[in-house]
Chain A
Amino acid sequence: MSAHVHEPRSACLNDKHAFETKNAPYVPLASIPRHFMNYGFIIDNRKCIGCHACSTACKSENEVPLGVYRTWVKYVETGVYPDARRHFQVTRCNHCANPPCVRICPVTAMYQRADGIVEFDPSLCIGCKACLQACPYDAIYIDPDSGTAAKCHYCSHRTEIGLEPACVVVCPEHAIIAGDIDDPSTEISRLLATQDVTVRKPEQGTAPKLFYIDGNDVALHPTATERAAELYVGGCDTVACGGGTGAEGNGRKGGKWERSDAEGSQQWDGDQDAGSAGAAVGGADSDR
């Protein structure tokens, strides 16, 4: 198989010549049969500056509606002043090798391609939301315009013509590395071979193919933190969202898809007493 080594880049999204380097001529990924590919991501947390360029590039590239996200940067703060630290974690579909979202879909609208991308087909989706329940990573949402499931699809429309996902190209730090994890000559394979990596919730047995270099335990662990709800994006009709900005709330079918929710911060703690649990998530009506 041909080698395709990608150097750090910052390029116009559609300029394939921007990918050429002296050492490694541009080899369109589309020229490699898809069944020989196994796409994955590395997020290099040593480099990520939390700038959200990936989030916005994804929104723009995939015309993602307001209030829903295919990729976003989670911020977690730890420590005590002056030794406090903010950790960034780019969060999205992991294109799991063993995807429960695919197994549960009753109509093959969520499916796994031969090249390892977990893809969706909005023309088939019936909007049963079972895949949202099956994904242990909150990677799927219902598109408020079409009423169908959607998520990161590895920019398959770009990958098929030899371009990298929009988030990869736009990242100013080259903190997102995409490529074939089974081809030892790719940058992603070399990094996987030489760096310590972690994945989200390995115990779920889903075999995520998004790997974090320098992954932060707290950020990887959704129930480990307090949640300052007023800083959340997504409006106030969501799980664990309190007095949020409300700027991007959405609700299909006049609120069929809505709920009001908690006030204040939230902390999941198996030992918390009834009173604190009530304060954490109370004041809400979860009915439609």
Chain B
Amino acid sequence: MAEGMVQTVYNAQHKVPWHWPVPAYLVTKAIGAGVFMVLALGFGLHLFGFDRETAVIGLLVSLAFVAITTLLLVYDLERPERFFSILLRPQWKSWLTRGAFILIGFAVVAGVWWLLETLAYFGVLGSGLADAARPIALWTGVVLAGGAAIYTAFLFGQAEGRDLWQSSLLPFHLIVQALVAGSGVLLLMDAFWGLPESVGAVSLIVFIAALLVDLFITLVGEFGMPHASETAAAAAHEISHGRYRGHFWFGSILLGHIVPLALVALTVLLASPLLLVAAALAAITGLYFYEYVFVMAPQEVPNS
């Protein structure tokens, strides 16, 4: 061995506990919360007029992604049949517990709102009840959707064995990611179902703004600043220069940010809806790449 040998020659090794279901859950949760936030804030702040058909389809998509999120969470358990223990004997200091209840609360509020709008849409109920419940459901839902988007930041904060996850930017970053994913899915819905023009326009503005902010947070905030600990720096190094650099630079930065922004810019020249479809798909795929490296790299820094 070289001069000044310093080596670990015998140790027990540890398996990486969380794999692809966790980054996948982060993406589906971002879509579920993001679609709701963009639509509810749009209706609530009168960025676009209320349209019942958009609400029915949008809430259904949001609920579907919350359901997929729950399935991924349960799938990742080693004892999935015990999932209900979280609800039956909750340990309230755990953000896993708090998050489960936030997700349930969000699903209940979004589900009730969707039901009322759907019944009104098909004429089963008069629209009076849906109209009366809407402001409450909308604003409660926005708060819960925001909670669903960001609670993972606090869960990751409790994961004290992974220093890179202790980022104080993470709550804000998760909200921005939800806006990217939510507005991206609304652009896809616009292309396939034809949403009202104002909904499509607002979604596009949110999509561009959120992508730019996300790019800034990622490059300057998460990776451009010095890290608080050596293990956080080691994980960040693996992402930006190590084994995950391909996922990060080509998957997250190029495919997830530069390509969609370029495709959106191209729509000025070629007014093709397919460009926006491709942009939205690229951004969501890129988001998965980012979540993947962010979840995996810190788990590979040895703790013993």
- Interface residues of chain A, those whose CB is within 8 Å of chain B, are 69, 72-80, 84, 86, 91, 100, 103-108, 124-130, 132-139, 141-142, 147-148, 203-204, 206, 218-219, 222-228, 231-235, 237-241, 244, 252-253, 257-259, 265, 268-270, 272-274, 277-278, 280-282, 284, 286-288
20 contacts between A and B (CB under 8 A): A74-B304, A80-B4, A104-B94, A107-B82, A107-B90, A126-B77, A133-B18, A137-B303, A142-B17, A147-B79, A204-B160, A225-B7, A227-B7, A233-B10, A235-B13, A268-B302, A270-B233, A274-B245, A277-B241, A284-B243
B161, closest chain A residue (CB): A136
Q: Which of B76, B159, B245, B304 has the most CB of A within 10 A?
A: B304
| Partner pick for B243 among A130, A133, A222, A277, CB 8 A cutoff | A277
Q: Once the chains bind, are A281 and B8 in contact (CB under 8 Å)?
A: no
Cβ-neighbour of A287 out of B5, B11, B20, B94 (below 8 A): B20
CB pair A231–B10 under 8 Å, yes or no, is yes
Considering the complex, give the chain B residue whose CB is closest to the CB of A91.
Answer: B304
Q: SS class of chain B's interface: helix, strand, loop or mixed?
A: loop
Query: A222–B229 Cα gap in the complex (Å)?
Result: 13
Are B243 and A281 touching (Cβ within 8 A)? yes
A138 touches B14 (CB 8 A): yes
By the criterion CB–CB under 8 Å, are B304 and A106 in contact?
no
Task: Give Cα distance in the complex from A72 to B9, angstroms.
Answer: 13
* Of the residues B12, B82, B158, contact of A103 by C-beta under 8 Å: B158
Additional pairs, 20, CB under 8 Å, beyond known A103-B94, A253-B78 = A74-B8, A75-B9, A91-B11, A100-B158, A104-B159, A106-B94, A126-B85, A129-B18, A130-B158, A148-B78, A203-B229, A218-B6, A223-B302, A228-B9, A233-B13, A239-B300, A259-B15, A268-B302, A269-B234, A277-B241
Q: Number of contacts between A and B (CB, 8 Å)?
A: 243
Q: Which residue of A lies closest to B82 (CB)?
A: A126
**Which B residues have a C-beta under 8 Å from some C-beta of A?**
1, 3-20, 76-80, 82-83, 85-86, 89-91, 93-97, 100, 155, 158-162, 165, 229-231, 233-234, 237-238, 241-243, 245, 296, 299-304
B20: chain A residues at CB < 8 Å are 287-288
In the complex, are the beta carbons of A74 and B11 less than 8 A apart? yes
Report Cα–Cα, A104/B243, bound state, in Å.
29
List chain A residues, Cβ under 8 A from B15.
141-142, 237-239, 257-259
With contacts A232-B10, A239-B14, A239-B300 taken as known, whether A107 is within 8 angstroms of B241 at the C-beta atoms is no
Interface of A is mostly: loop
Select from chain B the residue with minimum beta-carbon distance to A68: B12
Task: Name the A residues within 8 Å of B4 (CB-CB).
Answer: 79-80
Known: A105-B94, A108-B91, A138-B14. A223 touches B77 (CB 8 A): no
Q: Contact between B12 and A106 (Cβ–Cβ < 8 Å)?
A: no
Complex Cα distance A157/B193, Å? 63
Q: Which B residues lie within 8 Å of A265 (CB)?
A: 7
